[in-house]
Chain A
Amino acid sequence: MIAAVLSLSTLGAVLGLILGIANRTLRVEGNPVVEEIAALMPGSNCGQCGLAGCAAAAEAMAAGRAAPTICPPGGKALAQAVAAKLGVALDLSAVADAGPQVAAVAEELCIGCCRCAKACPTDAIIGAAKQIHSVMLEACTGCGACLDKCPTDGMVLRPVETGLAQWVMPRPASA
C-alpha cells in the first residue's frame, strides 16, 4: 500500500517537473493560430478590410476582434476555412461573394496615367505613360485596390470566366 502510494507520488512529481521544465524551455512565443490564418490569406495586403495588411487581419480574426468574413478578396472560401480553424459559427449571409473576380481596364476610358499599376499589390497591371494599360489575369487577385485610383473610373471588376480547365462537376443533389 505504502509502496504504491510512494511510487505513484514519485512518478507524479517527476512527470510534473518535466512538464514544468518543458513549459519554460519549449514555450511558444505568439499565437500559432495567427500564423496559420495568415498562411490562408491572400497576402497581397490590399487593405480592403480596413486593417494594416493581411498579418494584422489574421491577428484580429484570431483574437475575435474581426469576423472571419472580413477579407473581400478571400471570399466565402477563406471565410469558411478561417471559421473552421477558429471553430466559430459563420454567418455567410453578410458576404456578398460574387465568386472570384479579376480587374479589367476599360480601354475607351484609360488615359495611361499609371496610377492603377502603382497601386496594384501584385504588379498585375502593365502599361507605360500615355499607353493603354492592361491586366495580367494570372497575377490579378481581384482585390480592387486599383479601382479607386483610376481618375476616369476606367477600372472594373468582373467575374473570372470558367473555362474547360477550371470547370468542376457539380455535386449530385443528396438523396
Chain B
Amino acid sequence: MADTRSITVTVNGQPYTRTVETRLTLADFLRHELGLTGTHLGCEHGVCGACTVLVEGRTARSCLMLAVQAAGKSIVTVEGIAPSETELHPLQQAFQDNHGLQCGFCTPGMLTTLLEFLGDNPDPTEAEVREAISGNLCRCTGYQGIVDAALDAAKRMRK
C-alpha cells in the first residue's frame, strides 16, 4: 500500500492541492504532477543544479526534496520568472542577448540561482558570479555567456 499525503503547494503564485506518494521528489511533482516541465533533472543526486527552484525565496535542489516537504510552502520555478506572457525578466533577456544558453537544459537552474544571487549581491564581480553558479553544471556554454549575462543583468537591474 503506497504511503500518500494530500498536500497544498503554491507554485508561481498558484496553489495546487494533490495527493502524492510521500517518496515523490519535488522535482517530479513539479514536472509530472503539475506539468511544469521547465525544471529539469540532470543527475538526481544534487550536483548538477538543473533542478534548482526557489523555496520561500531560497534556492534548493528540487531533486533532493520530497514534494511533501513543500506542503504549505511557496515555490518559484523558471515558469514564474517572467513578469508576463509577453515580457522577459531582465535576467532572461540578458541571457538571450549574451548567448547564455545553448541546449537550454541547465538554464532553468541557472536562472533561479542567479535570481537569488543578484537579489543578495546586486553589484557582483565576475569572480563572485562564477562562485555563485559553481553549483550549476553546464556542458554547452563553457559558462562565459552565462557570466556575461549575469553581469549584464545586474547592470540592468540596478537601473
Whether A associates with B in a native complex is no
Binding site for B on A (CB under 8 A): none
Which chain B residues have a beta carbon within 8 Å of chain A's beta carbons? none
